[in-house]
Structure formats: C-alpha cells, structure tokens
Amino acid sequence: MNMTPDFSRAEHSISVEQISRPSLSYWQDAWIRLKKSTRALISLYIVIALGLFTLIGPLIWQVDPALQDLNQISQPPSFARSAILVGPFEREETLIDPNHPEEPAEYPDVIPAPQGLRVVGDATTQHIRIAWEPVDGAGGYAIYRNTHEPEGLNDLGLPLGNTMTGNEISYDDRLSLNQQDYYYSIVSTDGFDESDAYTTLKVSPAAAITKTEAIQRGLLEPDSDAAFGDEVQLEFHPLGTDYLGRDMLARLMEGARVSLFIGICAPFLYVLFGILYGGFAGYFGGGVDSTLMRFADFVVALPFLLFMILFKIAFGIGPGESGIMPMLIAMVLLSWPGTARLVRGQVLQIRNNGYIEAARLLGAKDHYLIIRHILPNTMGVILVTLTFAVPAAIFTEAFLSFIGMGVAPPTPSWGSMCNEGVKTMLSHPHELIFPAAFISITVLAFNLLGDGLTEALDSRMRSRE
Amino acid sequence: MRTPLKQLIALFLLSLANATVLSAEFETTAVDYDNQEITIALTQEPPQLNGMKATDQVSIMVLGHVMEGLVGYDRRGNVVPGVAERWEIDDKGATFWLRKDARWSNGDPVIADDFVFAWQNTLKPETASEYAFILYPLKNGEAINQGKMKPEDLAVRAIDDYTLKIEFERPTGYFIKLTAFTSYYPVQRKFFESKSDRYGADADDLLYNGPFRIKDWVHSASLHMVKNEHYWNKDAISLNAINAEYITADTRSRLNLFIDGKIVLTRLDGETYKDALTQKFRIRRFTTGSVFFLEYNHRPERITRNVNLRKAIQHVFDADEMVNKVLATPGNLPGKSLFPVWLGGVNDKFRKEYKAPEATIDIALGKKYLEQARQELGIDKFPPLVLLVSDSPTAAKQAEYMQGLLKARLDLDIKIDIQTFKQRLAKMTAGEFDIVGAGWGPDFDDVMTFGDLFASWNLNNRGRYSNPEYDKWVRVAMNSADPQVRMDAMGQLQQILFDEAVILPQYEQGVIYLLHPKVSGVARRVVGPDPDFSHARVIK
C-alpha cells in the first residue's frame, strides 16, 4: 500500500495578523461613533455654548439683572435707543378758564364735543399735556387714549381720567407712555354721564429721560453740562426688558445659573447614589436585593411636592428666601430609585455573563470584578440616565419656580421668568419666548445628546454595525 | 347584536338633540328688553346674607338690592330717604319718622321695632359681628358689644311703630351716612326668631324690604333676584329681575362671558383690558375709594420703628412713577395721604381744604436720614426688611418694584413674603412683618372711616402705631359734631401721618370695567353696595 501522506508540513509562515489601525479604547470608539451623529454633535455644542453663556456670559455682559429701567419697560429686543433730556416732572395746576362757569345753569340735551384740542408744551414719553376749549353746557370732560384712530364711540380706548368741572380744560397724561402714536379723544360730560360726541387728537411723543435720572443711571457724567433737549443714549437691552425694565439678557444669564445648577447638580448626585445603591443590590442579589429594592419602591411612592415643602419648613427657610437648597435635597432624596432600578437590572444581567464567571474562576476579587468588568458595561446606561435626568431636573425647577416654590425675587430662574412672562404673553411675547426657548433648547439638547450617547456607548449597538 | 347597537346610537343621538334643544331653551343673554331682565356674574358665592354679620363686598352688594335701610344713596352718592321719610339729628341724638307704606316681602309693615331689634342683635356679643363697632355711636353700644350691658339697654327706642328715637354716645356728625350701611338694615323680630340660626342661609330664610327679593339661590351656582312687589317705591324700579347666573372671580372668564353677551358688567385688570380694547368695547373707569399704602411695623423690636428709616424711604419713593409705570392701568391716582381725594371736608373736598404735605424726591436726603437711622439704631448694616404682600399678581409686581427701588436708591435689602389674603391678615395681626402692603376701603362716607385707623386702640392698626398726639386728635374729631373742628383735627392727623412717615401712601385705587351698552342707570359707589343695579334699566 502506497501510503501517500494526507498532510504535509506546512511552510513556516512569518506573516502574522497585521494591525493596520491604531487600537481604540472604549471612549475613543464612543467618541468616533458620537461624531457620526450630527444631531448629537450639535446638541453637544449647544450644551457647551450654554455652559459658556452661564459662566463667561456675565463677565462680558456686566449688567445688573435686578436693575430696573422704568424708562424702558417691556421693550422688545432692539438696538440702543436714544432719548432727549428733559427737566424733572412737576405736576402743574390744571388749566382753568376763569371766564367759563364750573357748571352750566342747565344741562342741554346734547353737549357738543370740545374744540381746539392741542398739545401744550412738548409731548415726551415723560409727560403729555393736552388742552381744549371749554364747551358751553359741559360739567366736565372725559379723556380717552387709544393707539389707533378711533372708529367710533366704542373704540375710544383707555379712559384715562375725568375733569370734574366744565372749566377745567387740560389733562396731564403720564400713563406708561411709549414712543408711539397716541390718539386722545375728549368727550363732554354733564359731570356724570358722557355725551355721544368726541374729538380726537393724534400725538407722537418723543422719547425722553429726565436729566437727574440720566445722571443717576450713569448715562451722563455727574458734572455734565448737557442741556435740556440734548440727545442721550439709553441703556442697550439686546433682548429687551421685562415688566420692570430689567435687562432680559442679564436675567437669562442669571437664571441659567440657577436652572443649570439644579439641572446638573441634582441629577449628578442622585444618579451617583442610584448607581451605588442599585449596583450593591444587583451584585449581591438575594435577600439584600429584595430588601433594598422594596425600600426603593417605597421611596418612589413618596410625593415630591409635599417633601419639598416639608424640607423648606424644616430648613427654616423663611419667606422671601431662596428655596433652591431644599429643592436640591428633595430631588436627590426622592429621585434616585429610577437609576437604582436600572443599574440593578443591568448588574444582575452582567453578573451572570460568561466572562464574569471566567474572571471569577481565575480568582478575581469582588472589587476587581466591579471596577474592571461590571461598571464599564453599565456606563452606557448610566450616562444615558444622567443626560435624561438633566432636562427632567431643569423642568422640575422651572415648574417649582413657576408655582412660586423656587427662587426668591429678584433672583430669576428660567421657570420664574416664564411665570412672569406668561402674564403678558399677548402684549409682550418676548418676556415669555426667551426663557421658554432657553428651557426648550436646553432640554432638547440634553435629550438628543442622551440619544447620541445611547447609540455611542451601548456595546450591543456596536456589534450590529 | 346589531339592532341594540343601532338603537343605542339612535338613543344617543336623540339625547344629544334633546340636550341641544334644552340648552337653547336655557340660553341666557345679558339683557332682555321685553322682560327688563339682566344677567350678571358674582365674584364669589355670598358667604353671609345675614346683614348683621356680613362683611364682604358680594354679600353687601346683594343685600343692597334686597334690603333698605333708613336712608340710601342716589346715583351721585347723595343721601336720599329710604324707609325713613324724614329725620332730625343733633349732638345728642336723632329721630327718624318712618314711612307708613314700607313693607316686608311678606306684606307686614316695616316698623321702628325692626330697627331696634336688628341693632340690638348686631351688638350682642354672641352675634360676634365684625362690624359691631359701626354701631358704637349708639349710646351704650360699645358696652353691650363688650358684654358689660344688656342689649335692652341700647338707647334706641321705638316711640311708636313709625317713630325711632336714638341717643348718641357722643356727638356723631356723620350719623346719617352710617344708617345707609348694611349693619343698620332692619330685621323683623318675629321672622328672625322663627328662623334663628337659619336666618339668611337661603332664599326662604330671609325677609326682604328692598327693591328686589331673592327668588332662588342655588349655592355656588346661581342667585336670582326678582322685583319685590311689596317695595314702597316699586314704580321707580324698572328691572324685573337680576339674574346672577355665574359665580367666578376669574377676570379672564368673566371677560369671555361679556364678549359672548352673557353678562352685563365685568371688571378688567392689567391684562384683560388689552383684549377689551381690541374687541372695541367702551371701557369705563371708576374710583373705588380705597387707599393702598405700605404700613410699617411700629412694634418695639422692629427697626421700622425708627422714624428716620421711614423718612428715608419716604424721600426716595415716587408715587407718581409707581402709578404710571408699574401699575400702568388707568384710574389709579398717586397716593399722597391716607385721606383719599373724594372725601368731603367742611364745604369742599377735604383734600382741597387741607392740602396733603408732599415729600420731595431727594435721594441724597434719603441717604442722610438712613445714616441717621443707622446711628440711632446702633447697627453697622441694615438687616433685610420683610415686605409682606398678598398673592395677587399686581401686589407681587409692586413688591418687586419696591425691592428694586430701595436696593438701588438706599441699598436696603428687602425680602418679599407673599401670602394669601387670609394668611397675610393673620401675619399682620401677629406683627410678623417689617413693612406690609395694605389697603383700606371706606365703610361710610366720612373722613373718620380713615382717620381713626391709626388710633392706638384700633384693632385694624396692625403695625401697632401708638402716638398720644394722634389719639388726642382722633378723640377731638370723635367728640365733636362741628365740621370745622372735626376737619381741623383730621388735618392734624394728616400732618402727623406725614411728619412721622407712619405709612407710605402708594395709590388710590381705580378700576376699569365694561358695561353692556343697552343697560343704563347702573351706579358705581365708593361706599355701600357696588355695583348697584337697583335703578338700572334695559334700553332699546
């Protein structure tokens, strides 16, 4: 039998597997995968920008967020305005026509509308004085103001005031005047009921500021020799002002500090606690696990708002003081069970994997197993929980400040700013839109970043590629 | 299986159609010209229709339509005869002659004893009427209220059924105005005793002598008033019914009801008025007569006791600025004094005869006062002051304005304590504040309703201000019936309030409201039931 060998000795090969690319750590790999998701990347940039806005912003935009500018109340976003200097307002006596009776001997059935309606002096946003000719048979006049030309008796606008006799023939208006057109209408009255005729005058006041106030606000040097009538630049409010003339941009920055402090501190603390708690329960399992998890179930049942109020009282936080610390503590104490459950589930699963068994057989100690094998594998879940917890915490803060449980005035937070803004939503939408937009963008950015991180960090997703 | 389902659907559709028909039937409109009916909304359920105990605006408003006192007010606020036909008043007392045709809604005549009984009952300590003090001008009234005398000792006698004789504790020049107030309304003895605790609890548990009577009252839902056929002056009353179909305090929903043509009157606030403007409604204005001010805590342990600290604040606060820029609704007047402009003086308005002193706005001077206060108090830095306000949106805004103002101008820190109305009152009474945003509305048309507010014995003087000089002038005014003496004393009070900066007057409240164009003759009042529809009518 010719025995030909089926096997021959192979040629010794020197070729080994070529490592053509540098080896990647878990984090480097995650980063590459994160970069592939544009959404996540943009969100990351937004989060970084928010951080800069909060930390660096106040250093660049050094405006006191509590400073009230009553000359520019509820201004929409705009470029810097200027105003003319005027003297201090002094209430003058109402003009009285000495030749006209206070009340007519008898009221006619129809009292005509006054004629000769005119502006006395300069019409400025500090003060508008209008005057008219007295009407025979009038026992007083009613003064209305509107922002468009009246279309009829029902469209005269705001009833500013009344003069109570027929010979008082002027009215001083200072009621929240802006640089816009006003239509003043005058109706004669019999001292009680108004007649059905009116005359209207259009007035366009010039923006004005008193010299004393300009100096006080630092718009002029104290020893400035600027004369009345000169122009002066008013404070610049790029995002407009709120209902007390406070700078929106400065308030948003200050508010961001509160909102992001709560939004980052609270989740960080309770996620950390949740990891320890859940990890402990999951790793040791059995009786320890059931006991710990039943306690977590118990904590879930506790009402957050009630505890928040209890903490506020227990801490002796009086009225008018910030409720941020009790809010933080209530959140940390009551929000961890979610994370704990998640981490426990993850640990339970990983604990039974083959490589853990193998490592244990090779003599690995508990702490080595936890640090080297279990924690890194739960990292994905943890980071994702964290990124989702941030918007949740920002929302909670916003909600609590919205109902008045959070910051104390004048400190703003985005939530309390929304609360104020919603009251003037129709007339001054910017007061609501800006803080609401910041909350929305922040929450969205953290959510999308969370999404991106889930994909980047999850090892199962990696194997699918 | 199929038929029942079809039937069910048919049934459902039928009931839907039914519901539409029904709701169309009950569709209310604000005005009904043919029947002379109007529909209104109340801001809250009247908590108390027992005139002897009522304290709130809604109860007083409803009672003002269904009851009548000895006198009333006309549209212009002048006193007009009510149950009393004529009267005589001097320093010692008063005599009222009652009209013979005044009747209760059960047909019984209104007699002098009905007043005696009501007033005795109000003063009884067991009644615990918060307004008992308004009957103190009656001789022995205060002693009865404090349980020192029996109700029968009240020096008010029914000489006969139609003559009422009253003795005064002290001369009371404004007594005639008091008799229009709710607490002075009559109560029939027989009827009250038959109802006892139930008196005023329901439509049937009240006997009416006013232009209207309550036809039915569904608690927390509606209250219907119809013309009282037994009212002596019923020919002067045009309306046949006033239907309060809605009970809500929300200005937004009230405005919507008005826009939908469901109610005839609604009040506007800083937000809703803009919608009313765009809807092109004729907005009306009305001064409520109330004065709002910051009241300091004068208790010894509080630093606001220091007069120079208060003076400092007085010199940096600009009421004109606050009214025009912060409140920013028309109708409010800058506050200059505790005494509002509408109060009558000797011959003219009080404020025209006694000009309110005004502080110059001078920040440097304010700082000087503050420095003086700091030295007197012996402190390095002022601790934050607690500013207590109620939880309305405007109150919070005003508080923030004050906080910003005092920080910017005096570098004083303010902590804002926002509380509900009830809680704020409790805290005011307990003295848990440094400064409190307070207001005072008139109970009757006389300077005294404001003047005695800061007398050391007045329980509404929550800051516990106590000044013998102030008390002295209040007593002078109380014990005189001479208008000149009384007004001079009030002028002194106004000066003391300013010199000592006891309070910081902020504004006299004005409100704006909408009224249905087809309703005329509605009276808005500073004192008494407001709004008053008694003499209203629906026009074509």
A336 to chain B nearest CA, in Å? 32
- CATH 3.40.190.10 maps onto chain B at 5-45+215-287+513-538
A158/B275 Cβ within 8 A: no
Q: Does B283 touch chain A (CB under 8 A)?
A: yes
Extract the tokens encoding A135: 């009407």
Going by C-beta distance under 8 Å and a sequence separation of 6 or more, which residues neighbour residue B215? B203, B224, B225, B226, B241
Going by C-beta distance under 8 Å and a sequence separation of 6 or more, which residues neighbour residue A242? A74, A248, A251, A417, A420, A421, A431
DSSP string for residues in A162-201: EESSTTB-EEEE-TT--SS-EEEEEEEESSSSEEEEEEEE
CA distance B267 to B288: 12
Q: Are residues A274 and A411 in the same domain?
A: yes
CA distance B199 to B196: 6
Q: Which residues in chain B touch residue A160, judged by CB atoms under 8 angstroms apart?
A: 285, 330
Residue B376, pLDDT score: 92
Q: Does B76 touch chain A (CB under 8 A)?
A: yes
Nearest residue in B to A127, CA atom: B324
Q: Are residues A101 and A157 in the same domain?
A: yes
Extract the tokens encoding A84: 């003319």
Q: Which residues of chain A have pLDDT under 70?
A: 1-5, 13-20, 404, 458-465
Q: Are residues A42 and A131 in the same domain?
A: no
pLDDT in tens, chain B (540 residues): 344 444 444 444 444 444 444 444 445 688 888 889 999 999 888 887 888 888 788 888 999 999 999 998 887 778 899 999 999 998 889 999 999 999 999 999 999 999 999 999 999 998 888 888 889 889 999 899 988 999 999 999 999 999 999 999 888 878 888 899 899 999 999 999 998 788 888 889 999 999 999 999 998 889 999 999 999 998 989 999 999 999 887 888 899 999 999 999 998 887 788 888 888 888 888 888 899 999 999 999 899 999 999 999 999 999 988 998 888 888 888 999 999 988 888 888 899 899 999 888 888 999 999 999 999 999 999 999 999 988 777 788 899 999 999 998 999 999 988 887 778 888 888 889 999 998 888 888 888 889 988 998 887 888 999 999 999 999 998 888 888 999 999 999 999 999 999 999 999 998 899 999 889 888 888 888 888 999 899 988
CA distance A139 to A162: 11
Helix (H), strand (E) at residue B537: strand B537-538
Going by C-beta distance under 8 Å and a sequence separation of 6 or more, which residues neighbour residue B381? none
DSSP string for residues in A272-299: HHHHHHHHHHHHH-HHHHHHHHHHHHHH
Cβ atoms of B245 and B39 closer than 8 Å: yes
Going by C-beta distance under 8 Å and a sequence separation of 6 or more, which residues neighbour residue B136? B142, B145, B169
- What is the domain-level CATH number for residue A367? 1.10.3720.10
Q: Which residues in chain B touch residue A68, judged by CB atoms under 8 angstroms apart?
A: 401, 404-405, 408
Q: Are residues A332 and A437 in the same domain?
A: yes
- CATH 3.90.76.10 maps onto chain B at 57-198
Task: State the best of A141, A154, A160, A403 to mutate against chain B, taking most chain B CBs within 10 Å.
Answer: A154
DSSP string for residues in A336-368: HHHHHHHHHHHHHHHHTSHHHHHHHHTT--HHH
Residue B116 CA to its chain's centroid (Å): 25
Asked if residue A267 has a cis previous peptide bond (ω within 30° of 0), the answer is no
CA distance B147 to A247: 60
The closest alpha carbon to A201, from A160, A240, A259, belongs to: A160
Listed by number, the residues of chain B in 391-430 with a beta carbon closer than 8 Å to a beta carbon of chain A are 393, 396-397, 399-401, 403-405, 407-408, 414-419
A174 to chain B nearest CA, in Å? 6
Angle of helix A26-36 versus helix A38-55 axis, rounded to 10? 100
Cβ atoms of B369 and B317 closer than 8 Å: no
ipTM: 0.82
CB nearest A321 (choices: B75, B320, B415): B415
φ/ψ of B11, rounded to 5, equals -60, -45
Helix (H), strand (E) at residue B16: helix B2-26
Dmax (CA) of chain B: 93
Q: Are residues A271 and A378 in the same domain?
A: yes
Q: Are residues A205 and A299 in the same domain?
A: no
- Is the domain spanning B57-198 CATH 3.90.76.10? The answer is yes
How many domains, in total, are found in chain A? 2
Second-level CATH architecture of B289-510: Roll (3.10)
Answer yes or no: is A323 within a domain.
yes
**Other beta carbons less than 10 A from residue A349's beta carbon:** 12
Residue A234 identity (one-letter amino acid): L
CB nearest B282 (choices: A68, A156, A192): A156
* CATH top-level class of B5-45+215-287+513-538: alpha beta
B325/A409 Cβ within 8 A: no
- What is the domain-level CATH number for residue A136? 2.60.40.10
Q: Are residues A48 and A143 in the same domain?
A: no
- CATH 3.10.105.10 maps onto chain B at 289-510
Nearest residue in B to A150, CA atom: B280
CA distance B96 to B176: 10
Q: Are residues A295 and A425 in the same domain?
A: yes
The closest alpha carbon to B315, from B191, B206, B412, belongs to: B412
Extract the tokens encoding A154: 């029902």
Cβ atoms of B180 and B71 closer than 8 Å: yes
Residue B135 identity (one-letter amino acid): L
Cβ atoms of A192 and B75 closer than 8 Å: yes
Task: Enter the DSSP assignment of A241.
Answer: B
Q: Are residues A161 and A115 in the same domain?
A: yes
Q: Which residues in chain B touch residue A410, judged by CB atoms under 8 angstroms apart?
A: 400, 403-404, 407
Q: Are residues A296 and A341 in the same domain?
A: yes
pTM: 0.82
Residue A439 sits in which domain range? 28-66+244-464
Q: Are residues A149 and A189 in the same domain?
A: yes
Nearest residue in B to A427, CA atom: B274
Q: Which residues in chain B touch residue A246, judged by CB atoms under 8 angstroms apart?
A: 404
Q: Are residues A302 and A191 in the same domain?
A: no
Extract the tokens encoding A175: 């009621």
